[in-house]
Structure 1
């Protein structure tokens, strides 16, 4: 279920996440079918919104190595 409070525009997400630029987000969105980001995207009319919670899941899945579990 989508929580509208978690939806961000490209500009908003880039402002909240300083490690990524608007251009990089747009590149990821353009290639969403091949990189798996499409699960985090919602398109309404001509606007694309990013579900922040799903984006964070996608980002976590990009780790090169599994995160060590706390013992």
Structure 2
């Protein structure tokens, strides 16, 4: 279930996370079908809202895992 207090606009997320530009966030939204971001998006009346909890899960999934020591050889 979505809690309305967890929803944010693109601009709000860009302000709260200065390492993410509004343009980059809109690019991710445009490609949400292929990059897996779709579960974090809610569209109401032509506006896109971002579920912060789902966005954080998606962001964590983008983490580049360090290579194992055995992979280096």
Task: Name the TM-score, length of structure 2 as normaliser.
Answer: 0.88
Q: Where has structure 1 moved over 3 Å in runs of 4 or more?
A: none
Partner of 2:8: 8
Cα RMSD (Å) of the superposition? 0.9
Number of residue-to-residue matches in the alignment: 66
Query: For residues 45 and 35 of structure 1, what CA distance do their matches in structure 2 show?
Result: 23
Task: Name the TM-score, length of structure 1 as normaliser.
Answer: 0.90
Partner of 1:65: 65
Is the counterpart of residue 23 in structure 1 residue 18 in structure 2?
A: no
Question: Unpaired segments of 5 or more residues in structure 1?
Answer: 67-71
SS at match of 2:28: helix
Structure of higher CA gyration radius: 2
